[in-house]
Structure 1
């Protein structure tokens, strides 16, 4: 006993208090410099490609070029965008078309993705891997290929759509969907849904597979099977994934440009019926045909796109996501 007591007194770490021991542990903890080394390339690339251009765009929107000399204009470009009828009419038209483009994806693409994921996650379904691959293949196709191919398919002159409808006796239903103002944007939205429905399908499919087997077995013990099991058990558990898909859809749709440009051109015809913020930005910044490019007004439109997307993301993060956390398992 005496030797143990004397040993404890001679050891300063054992006689010291918890605060001193914590300081000693913190001093001995090595600095993990390798984390900074591994993150540095990604941070530098992201800063050069995303952060610096973003601040450059915001700065450019506050200036106006007079005699090839940049002059600080404050918020005059934004006032012109909203107050000048020449600019405001095109901006609100593009914003409205963008909103409708997003609504089509939310009401058609995401529900279809959930249904496909629920069907493909069934263990009784045969060849599910083949179906997943076939549905996901259009996602990896180029926008140019998709836009040009569907423009050929829906062409009233040499397209295959009239002949296909004629084979089933529905040729009377065919109209030049890409050539009429009331149908063009909805048609392009559905084409985009066809191309990208594989993304929500795969994300929801992964979320369904990650549900613990214990939860499913407990539901089956309670007699909850089939569609009732999906609605009462699985759907509430995948709501966080559906929320993430919704915000990704929002960001992607309000950044859309490629499909509209490849199918309808920079003028987003007919009569600007398919004009969205991306094509409006392109014509304004770079100019098109008789329209002279204005990089300051183009930067102003790009800044408004950034603010709209930022507002939508903030609404999701601070309101919707906090409510969806209760469904996480």
Structure 2
């Protein structure tokens, strides 16, 4: 037996060190600093350790809890619309574009994907102008097809504003699930589809019985990416409705609530410690959701044991 010690592979350390340093400086350190800030408060401009008091106030004190639970509920609805509208449409578009009889596939892929590269600010202001009852083109377009009676100032009504912005977000990002599912469909071996044709499984029946079970892992990844992205959302709401997320906070989500709390807005003074508590709560929600997916869903998706 050889007594030679295993050689340390220094080249791995050398290549990983820059990435680890950058990631730690811009991700790990800010995360732990946020957690630290959430455990303190300021009294007469003196920072004092408060333990979990900020979280108690955030969850149970009506001064903070009402706004927090309203923002969380809005965030959940924002996510649900994306799951029920964006992802199914993305899957449908991918299934259509993957059909060999469809022509100009590259053109259609580009058309659906281009909105995803647009700035949130551009999308927010553009749709705000389009839906405006004063100078927007939406009333005229509905009038042209005889549906003007259906028009309403959707961004100005509490019951419609959040849903409207969620659908705008769906319009912008439907290209992402479409492209991911399209790529997953292309990886399905032709032999499997040919075997299904021999058994008489063709057309949409082949999609439901063969293709869909094989792309479930990709759908799972899209779902968790949608969850993380929606619970980190901020830009579109801020661009379209401002930091107050009107009307009457009906479009307020955790991102806008965090912004107003941390930095302050108009007559509201900024409170970094309560803002850090909100950010920590957002991190906890996302962490729980990701863990549920990784340990409770991903294994089943891989084994198709539903």
How far 1:218 moved relative to its partner?
1.4
Confirm or deny that 1:245 pairs with 2:219. Answer: no
- Local SS of the residue matching 1:178: helix
| Residue pairs, 1:19-168, within 5 angstroms | 20=1, 23=2, 27=5, 31-168=8-145
Confirm or deny that 1:299 pairs with 2:280. Answer: no
- Local SS of the residue matching 2:154: coil
How far 1:30 moved relative to its partner?
5.2
Structure showing greater radius of gyration is: 1
What TM-score, normalized by structure 2, do the two folds share? 0.97
Q: 1:278 aligns with which of 255, 258, 277?
A: 255
Q: 2:207 aligns with which of 221, 224, 230?
A: 230
How far 1:31 moved relative to its partner?
3.9
Confirm or deny that 1:204 pairs with 2:181. Answer: yes
For residue 231 of structure 2, what is the aligned residue in structure 1? 254
- Local SS of the residue matching 1:175: coil
- Local SS of the residue matching 2:156: coil
How far 1:123 moved relative to its partner?
1.2
* Offset from partner CA, 1:113-152 (integer Å, 9 cap, x none): 0000001111110000000001000000000000000000
How far 1:212 moved relative to its partner?
1.4
- Local SS of the residue matching 1:256: coil
- Local SS of the residue matching 2:47: strand
2: CA distance between counterparts of 1:122 and 1:327?
24
Q: 1:314 aligns with which of 291, 297, 303?
A: 291
2: CA distance between counterparts of 1:176 and 1:69?
47
2: CA distance between counterparts of 1:254 and 1:91?
13
Task: Count how many residue pairs are aligned between Structure 1 and Structure 2.
Answer: 305
What TM-score, normalized by structure 1, do the two folds share? 0.91
1: CA distance between counterparts of 2:73 and 2:131?
25
- Local SS of the residue matching 1:71: strand
Q: Which runs of 5+ in 2 are unaligned?
A: none
